[in-house]
Amino acid sequence: MTLTLTARTATHAALLQSSRVTLRLPAPFRPVRGPGSVRMAKSTTVALSQDELKKQAAHRAVEYAKSGMVLGLGTGSTTAFAIDRIGELMKNGELKDIIGVPTSIKSYEQASALGIPLATLDEKPEIDLAIDGADEVDPKLNVVKGRGGALLREKLVEQASKKFVCIVDESKLVEGLGGSKDAMPVEIVQFCYKYNLGRLQDLPELAGSEAKLRMNGDKPYITDNQNYIVDLYFQEPLKDPYAAAEAISKLTGIVDHGLFLNMVDVVVIAGKDGVRLQEK
């Protein structure tokens, strides 16, 4: 719409009796015809990216951290936001006397770069709070972890923690573990890995799953502990995750599995409607 204004000035009357100035107004603010009518700018809903959702959840989880705590620092893209936030709060003095226990080389390097004092589980066997992500979360707050390859160290640290806060976006919520049809990791020793892969495939408690050795290019993926990972893929959720965990653990050569059962105290969930908590 074009709005035309007429300007008359005595000074320029001889030169210009009527000068026209044309203004083009932005669309949301264009005047509307009709007496007393008003048009408001349309509201815009901006969809947050998955990373932005993860960051919201991570920052909410860090609110559980208090000065003087020993913190278990998980591994993965979501937890990286939490580690960044802890470093930021320590730098501005809101958190003091924090010691972190990292669950992977990657988390160690990130926390070190941020100036977070670090220790091992040997040095700090009692952890006040662990913060980590998850690959799947069921309604009972049982989770699948380890798609990032750090499941053994994560489980060690999180079992030693007084409180375990898990941070996810709502895409990780499932009705039953295995329900995402993505990997449920099992860490195994390198020795006779084909033998153990076959035994995992044949377990009745894992019926319907497909076992695959995780690869890194054309070579087997190797964990921080120098082990291999077998990824289990399910077409249907596990009927009994406790029975599955027990059966896997009984196999010699199995280091640990990605079923974290009855371990999580709080899940911080970021979704399109904001951040919400689910507690036991």
Measured CA to CA in angstroms, residue 237 lies from 21, 135, 144, 201, 228 at distances of: 69, 14, 12, 16, 24
118-142 residues labelled b (16+ CB within 10 A) or e (exposed): beebeebeebbbbbbbbbbbbeebb
Q: Are 200 and 248 in contact (CB under 8 A)?
A: yes
- Identify whether 154 is a catalytic site residue: yes
Instruction: State the amino acid at position 90 in one-letter form.
Output: M
Which of the residues 52, 109, 123, 154 is marked catalytic? 154
Q: What are phi and psi of 195, to 5 degrees?
A: -60, -50
Q: What angle do CA 17, 22, 24 make, to 5 degrees?
A: 165
- Pure H helices in 127-226: 151-159, 193-202
Which distant-in-sequence residues (6+ apart) come within 8 Å of 41 by Cβ? 28, 29
Q: Are 28 and 41 in contact (CB under 8 A)?
A: yes
**H or E element in which residue 131 lies:** strand 129-133
Say how far apart CA 142 and CA 198 lie, in whole Å.
26
- 125 Ramachandran zone, left/alpha/beta (phi>0; psi -120 to 50): alpha
Strand-pair category, 209-213 with 2-7? unpaired
Catalytic residues: 154
